[in-house]
Structures are given as structure tokens and as C-alpha cells.
Amino acid sequence: MTTKEIVIFGAADANTMVQARDVASRAERVALMADNHFGYIMPVGGVAAYRGKVSVAGVGFDIACGNAAIRTDWQLSSFEGLEALADEIAAAISFGIGRKNKSDDAPVNHPLFEGAAWEAIPDKHARDQLKAKAREQLGTVGSGNHYVDVFVDEKGFVWVGVHFGSRGLGHTLASNFMALAQNQPWGTRVKETEALLSLDDELGRAYWATMNLAGEYAYAGREWVARKVVSLMGANEVEMVHNHHNFAWKEHHVVDGESEEVVVVRKGSTPARPGQKGFVGGSMGDDAVILQGARDVKPEAFAAMFSTVHGAGRVMSRTEAAGKWDYKRKVRKTTGKISKKMMQSWLKKKGVILRGGGLDEAPQAYRRLPEVLKAQGKTIEVLHTLKPLIVVMAGEAEFDPYKD
């Protein structure tokens, strides 16, 4: 299961391993979850532990991307009108860059907008602009693999699940702290490189504060969207499962034979301490799961730094799957390996109602989640299997610079 100092669940391709070894040259410990694939600087599905430092590239551009799922009190057997509900979700929730719906109840006056962490942004004008953009985008879902889904579990209960992060706020923070780490002023566009920031330094503390601000922002957005859909259904919330999977935490883990506090960066990886629940999606045409970290702790769980997958993991890049898209003219410039007929055939067989969605997110572009979960071994326990009924995503022609 190990290659030198890197713990690997399942398998990893050559390019992903190159990235993982590069991360391992700086980190104290590195692990790859079974949904791992090539990413920006650090592999998606990667976990890395650092002594007193945080990796801006590791947390990524979509700071605090994560999943939230709500179990409702509704039984599918008593519910009709799935097609109408799909249309209502698509109309009530905004997908893409800004808010396009008419909702007046998005939490744009959330207390987070008065938080002290905003002061860590050195330029007041930039700070005010970013805060205004964040207000505008709070409660929007974005595009790419971000979604709102309606599921049914093995007991017939209906769930609502969402996947997205901190939108333009997180992207702007990551880009600019990379610039500051290269001694460039806020607002300067720089090459995407690793920036390891010490939490003992002013810059590292500023990033940590704003990263947590983006985490609070992402939580507020996901909870509002998920609860909005539950209200559209006329159902009641019974339970919420909510996690970041692009984030950093201060945790205790064994390093060099001793337990110590380290900064654990999870990029596309779900925290999974014993009994800690997580919502993990597959693809638009596959089941999702509610899982938890195994209560009977095995050595593999320590090796994974109490982490697990965040999804099924891609087997094709977006371009490989769908070809290239001209967003200005809204036409396809080149074709990929997946056709609309292939995607629709899969969804019809699974009985999934789709609104929006592009070929880059077709089920064929992803691994199968059961295989990925099996590769995680006894580190996790599946509590519920969620069959997709409705999937709502941004349309194929929707350009969104913050989708990753």
C-alpha cells in the first residue's frame, strides 16, 4: 500500500505520483485516497501533513469546497411531481458566476461579513470589492462538477445534496496569497506555484484567517441552498451531514513515531475520524453515500490520517471527455470521447432527471464509486446509499472561472 513515504489507497497514475512525490518532498506525511487524480500542484484526493505550515496550493483555489446533505421526513412513495421539482430547483437556485434567480432570502447579511478576518486583506479597496462580490455570489452553486441533487435512500427517505465551495471569494484569496508569497502586491497575477506559509509569520496567519473565513462562507452557502430546496419540496429537515473537502485543519497525528499537532491539508478528501459522518457523491448517473469513519479503528485509518474520498474521481479530463467549448459563441470547437447520446442513455437507464449538465460531467468521465470505496478498505463504514432522482447543474455553455 506504500511507495516510500506515500500511502496509497487503490492506485495512482504516473502523473499523479509525480505530484505526490513533489508534495512529499516538503510535507511530513502524504496519503492518496482512492479517488486520486492529477490536480494543480497537489493531487486531488491528496492529504498532506505539515509542521506549522499551510499549503495555499494544497487547499486550492476553491477554498472550502465541500458537500452537504439533508435527510428529509419525506418518503418517495408519497411524493409526485419530480419533473416539476427539477424545474423549480433550476429556477430558484443560481448556477454559474452570479445570482440570476429572484430569491430575496439568500444570507447576504450573514455575520461573517462583519468578521475581523476581512482585515487580513491588505488593500481596503480590494477588500471592499471582494466583500461585495462575495455578497453577490453567496447562495450560488457555480458550474463544473457542482450540483444540487435529490436522492432516495434504502428506506425510501428523500435527501437533498449539494456540492460547491467558496466561489469567487476563495479563488481570489488563493490567487492573491500566492502573489504575496512571491513578494508581489495584492491584485498581481502570478504563475500558479506552491506557497508554503508559516503560521508563525504574519502572512501565514493572515491566510489562515481568510481561509477560515472562506470556510464559514462556504458553509453558509451550502446550508442555504440545501435548505432552500427542502423548503421548495415542502419537507422538513431531519438530519444534515456537512463537510469541507478542500481545507486545512490543525490535528494531532503521529510523525516520526510521536504524536504531535500538525497542519493537515486535504485536497479533495473528506475528514473521517471515528464516527464522523460525510456525504460523498459519485457522478450525475451514480449512487452517492453517507459514510462515517470506522469506529473500529484499523491501522489503515491512521495511515490515511483519518481521511477518505470526496467522490468517485475522474478518469478523463474535461477536455478529453467533452472536447473544447467556445463560450463566446456557445458552440463546441472539438469533440471528446463522450457523446450526448451516450450520456442520455446512461441517465435514462438509471432513471435520473437532469437539468443542465455537460458532457464533461457525464458518468463515463468518472470512476465507479463502489470500487473507490472498496479500495478505502475498513477505514470507513457506509451508512446510507443514495440513489439519484434529480440532478441540477449549470448548463454546458455556462462559463464560470471559479468552477475548480
- How large is the C-alpha radius of gyration of the chain? 20
Instruction: From the candidates 171, 242, 310, 384, give the one annotated as an active-site residue.
Output: 310
Residues making up the binding site for Mn(2+): 62, 146, 163, 245
Residues making up the binding site for GMP: 245-246, 281-284, 310-313
Contact present, 44 and 36 (Cβ < 8 Å):
yes
**φ/ψ bin of 197: left (φ > 0), alpha (ψ from -120 to 50), beta (otherwise):** beta
CA angle 338, 67, 317 (to 5 degrees): 25
What CA–CA distance (Å, rounded) separates 129 from 305? Answer: 38
Give bridge partners of residue 326 from the DSSP assignment: 331
Residues making up the binding site: 62, 146, 163, 245-246, 281-284, 310-313
Contact present, 97 and 75 (Cβ < 8 Å):
no
Contact present, 6 and 18 (Cβ < 8 Å):
no
- The one-letter amino acid code at 18 reads V
For residue 125, indicate whether it is catalytic: no
Cell 429556477, residue?
91
Here the cell at position 320 is 478529453
CA distances from 263 to 52, 65, 379 (A): 6, 18, 21
Q: Which of 316, 251, 271 is nearest to 51 (CA)?
A: 251
| Residues that are catalytic | 310
